[in-house]
A and B are shown apart, each in its own frame.
Chain A
Amino acid sequence: MHRSKNFLAAMLVSTAMAHPAIAETNLNALFMAQAAYSEADVRAMTDAFTAANPDIKVSLEFVPYEGLHDKTLLARGSGSGYDVVLFDVIWPAEFAENNVLLDVTDRITQEMKDGVLPGAWTTVEYNAKRYGMPWILDTKYLFYNMEILAQAGIAAPPTTWAELSEQAKAIKDQGILDHPIVWSWAQAEAAICDYTTLVSAHGGAFIVDGAPAFQTGGGLDALEYMVDSYNSGLTNPNSKEYLEEDVRRVFQNGEAAFALNWTYMYNLANDPNESRVVGKIGVAPAPGVAGKSAVSAVNGSMGLGITATSQNPDAAWNYITFMTSQPTQNAYARLSLPIWASSYDDPAVTAGQEDMIAAAKVGLAAMYPRPTTAGYQEMSATLQQAIQEALLGQASPADALAMAAEGGL
């Protein structure tokens, strides 16, 4: 008995001595493993943070975008897990109502309020409160292959969606490409982002006075445009199983003249190790619709927030402040553009990607939101099904959307 007590005491002493003099704080952070900042970029940023803050240790976890929402929610359900999470612009409503994220309105400094682009804040806001810092400021742009356009005798990229169809038809008719346009229309959120871009172009709305409104007007026009483009063969038929990375692959192999994708594609498709279309890439804001819009864009931004269950909210906020700071964002502006207004005129940021910056200035200002509702996940799933049913010809666009509006799955 005595011996075991002594042994226990010795154990306790040795464990205590093994600990460093400074109390070390451990943060667990959840990120996504695709698009925007690469995993390597996030690791490098985090290393810089821990080098400056040796008492904080950050463990990173990367999941595909498709798993990010559920993983965050499940970690909340089990009452532990992450301190810092990356969240999409469509989740603050749900996360706020379920107390997943900490309200950080009071932590945001005047410097942040003054420096960050006003539109970026919508990414983290719900009911006039802020649940994190915007980090990835992004929308879908129209990428085009300048060589193919020149080959088809097209002088300038399209400014309307109708013009885009005409140009694609010219490319198809001349036999340059069978399917000139590629999209990410897999049964996933990616399809909703493309659809939302078209809804904003056609002047549609998702919800009006609390009731679904996408089944008529601009919402219906948007889906009809998708179905026409698909049926006419202008759109790559494999689009219906593609996510963003598939779109990038097709585009950088030179197999598409037009593609809708996020900022990150610009520099990756200009990387000679990855791409066959280096130097041939044009980028513009997504087109508009005559009489309705000049350009179109979806708000596809993401933010970093502190979980309500975090034991170290202060250290977590330090980390978020560092990750979203202007120096950090400027240093990694190749795959994701900064949230800071003055960065867009900083030569260090714009050098080599002037076209991207020019498109961003117009596109980011036109960003259209997806519905802000706590039930967004289900609404999105219903719409994804409607879009795919219409594409596959299982229902007309009008019927598919009407059914989705009724919530009938």
Chain B
Amino acid sequence: MNAGWTATRAWLLMLPLLIVMLSVIGWPFFDTVRLSFTDARLVGTGGDFVGFANYERLFSSRAFRRAFLVTTQFAVVSVLVEVVLGVLVALLLYQNFRGRNVLRALLILPWALPTVVNALLWRLIYNPEYGALNALLVQIGLLDAYRSWLGDPNSALVALIVADAWKNFPLVALISLAALHAVPHDIKAAAIVDGAGALARFRFVILPYLAGPLMVALVLRTIEAFKVFDIIWIMTRGGPANSTRTLSILVYQEAFSFQRAGSGASLALIVTLAITVLAVVYVALIRKSAGAQF
């Protein structure tokens, strides 16, 4: 068994997977690239080559700039909330107390809910006439009268972010919790003996162990949040006045509602490119932090 045969065997074993991936990801991807340079319609014509016209039109359109901004706001804030909340909850559930295991099991619930169910649930909570949020805020005196949360452009995006963060923080919490269990007890004990306070212990003892797994969670969540479609489509359909229309919704409208497959493809590729850039940056950061640690 020489090294050459090992490499060949590895490739041979991976070949079936490679073929499947090329056919289900590779071909549609290259076809999307081809489409993005045409004026193809969804139904009927294959379209003619139009060069960069689709891209030029998108970059100069108000809809694209606005959707890009909305998507970025949504992704940054929701991921930030999820990470902070996730780590705090993980620290809490790491403590030893009665009923901890029940709480840990319950934690998975929001994340296990289908997004559609979660979205409908939050729509009920935000309902302007009988929603639980209005009832709560009015009863504790924070709000004078029931108000519309999803119909107001100033609150709609925030309301969506809360709904999304509630569903997704458990993922971050679970990953963080697993990482916390990897922190050796003797180091923590040593830190306490050395007189480190809670904050210092978190910063210098626990955080280095959390950083790697947290970065993975951050990558996953950022990519997902940047692609967000379903929760917004169900709760606001991009409204009011397109104040919650994200890039994915714009792609859907462009390609499927308005039947401009070519332009939709170019928009989808821009979203893919943006996500790829984010992923590359994150992976580089993970390598760096892993290198520093080990």
Contacts and interface: CB of A to CB of B under 8 A. Distances in A.
Nearest to B43: A98
B151 A385 contact: no
Contacts of B257: 69-70, 377-378, 381
Interface secondary structure of B, over-half rule: loop
B43 A77 contact: yes
A388 B240 contact: yes
B43 A392 contact: no
B228 interface: no
A255 B146 CA distance: 14
B256 A187 contact: no
A237 B63 CA distance: 26
Contacts of A249: 129
A87 B63 CA distance: 28
B259 A98 contact: yes
B62 A409 contact: yes
A70 B42 CA distance: 11
A328 interface: no
A392 B152 CA distance: 8
Contacts of A187: 236-242
A74 B256 contact: yes
B293 interface: no
Contacts of B238: 187
Interface residues of B, number: 26
Contacts of A377: 257-259
Contacts of B256: 70, 73-74
A100 interface: yes
A210 B84 CA distance: 55
A341 interface: no
B208 interface: no
A238 B128 contact: yes
Contact of B242 (A250, A378, A385): A385
A99 B259 CA distance: 13
Contact of B239 (A99, A100, A388): A388
Given A187-B237, A409-B62, 20 more contacts: A70-B257, A73-B42, A73-B43, A73-B259, A76-B43, A77-B43, A98-B41, A98-B43, A99-B44, A188-B237, A238-B148, A238-B151, A240-B151, A241-B151, A241-B236, A241-B239, A255-B129, A378-B257, A381-B257, A392-B241
Interface of B: 41-44, 61-63, 128-129, 148, 150-153, 236-242, 253, 256-259
Interface of A: 66, 69-70, 73-74, 76-77, 94, 97-100, 186-188, 237-238, 240-241, 249-250, 255, 375, 377-378, 381, 384-385, 388-389, 391-392, 394, 408-409
9 contacts: A66-B237, A69-B257, A187-B236, A238-B151, A241-B150, A377-B257, A377-B259, A389-B241, A392-B241
